[in-house]
Amino acid sequence: MSDSKLYKSSTPAADEVLSKPKHVPVTDDQDGQRVDNFLIRHCQGVPRSHLYRLIRQGAVLVNGRRVKQTRKLVAGEQVRIPAVSLKPAADVKVPESLATEVGNSIIQETEDFLVVNKPQGLAVHGGSGLAFGLIDALRQARGEPNLELAHRLDRATSGALLIGRGMKATRLLQDLFRQRSIEKRYIALVDGRWPANLHKIDVPLMKNVEHAGERRVVVDPQGQSAVTLFKVRSRLVDATLLDVTLETGRTHQIRVHSRHAGHAVVGDTRYGDNKRNATFKKNGLARLYLHSSELAFEWKERKVRVRAPTDQYWEDAIESINVDGREPKLERHKNNGLEKW
> Does the pLDDT of residue 332 top 60, yes or no?
no
Q: What is the pLDDT of residue 164?
A: 96
Q: What is the 3 state secondary structure string of 210-241?
A: EECCEEEEEECCCCECCEEEEEEEEEECCEEE
Q: What is the pLDDT of residue 325?
A: 38
Phi, psi of 165 (to 5 degrees): -100, 85
pLDDT-derived band of residue 159, with 50, 70 and 90 as boundaries?
A: very high
Higher pLDDT, 221 or 10: 221
| Contact (Cβ atoms closer than 8 angstroms) between residue 305 and residue 172 | no
Domain ranges of the chain: 15-79, 96-320
Higher pLDDT, 160 or 132: 160
CATH architecture of the domain formed by 96-320: 2-Layer Sandwich (3.30)
Residue 62 φ/ψ region, left for φ over 0, alpha for ψ in the -120 to 50 degree band, beta for the rest: beta
Q: What is the pLDDT of residue 327?
A: 39
**Helical segments of 91-180, H only:** 96-103, 134-142, 167-178
What is the 8-class DSSP label of residue 282?
H
Q: What is the pLDDT of residue 90?
A: 57
Higher pLDDT, 217 or 331: 217
pLDDT-derived band of residue 1, with 50, 70 and 90 as boundaries?
A: very low
Tens-place pLDDT, residues 269-290: 999 999 999 999 998 999 999 9
CATH fold for the domain made of 15-79: 3.10.290
> Does the pLDDT of residue 174 top 50, yes or no?
yes
**pTM of the predicted protein model:** 0.76
Q: What is the pLDDT of residue 208?
A: 77
Which amino acid would we find at residue 306? V
Higher pLDDT, 148 or 335: 148
The catalytic residues are: 154
What is the 8-class DSSP label of residue 180?
T
> Does the pLDDT of residue 199 top 70, yes or no?
yes
Tens-place pLDDT, residues 288-324: 999 999 999 999 999 999 999 999 999 998 888 875 4
| Contact (Cβ atoms closer than 8 angstroms) between residue 82 and residue 6 | yes
- Average pLDDT over all residues of the chain: 86
Q: How far is CA 321 from the centre of its chain?
A: 30
pLDDT-derived band of residue 188, with 50, 70 and 90 as boundaries?
A: very high
Tell me the average pLDDT across 73-102: 84
Q: b or e along 187-212 (b: 16 or more beta carbons within 10 Å of the residue's beta carbon)?
A: bbbbbeebeeeeeebebbbbeeeeee
Tell me the average pLDDT across 234-254: 95
Tell me the average pLDDT across 175-201: 96
Distance between CA atoms of 312 and 160, rounded to whole angstroms?
16
pLDDT-derived band of residue 341, with 50, 70 and 90 as boundaries?
A: very low
Phi, psi of 75 (to 5 degrees): -55, 135
Share of residues in the chain with pLDDT > 90 (%): 66
Higher pLDDT, 91 or 15: 91
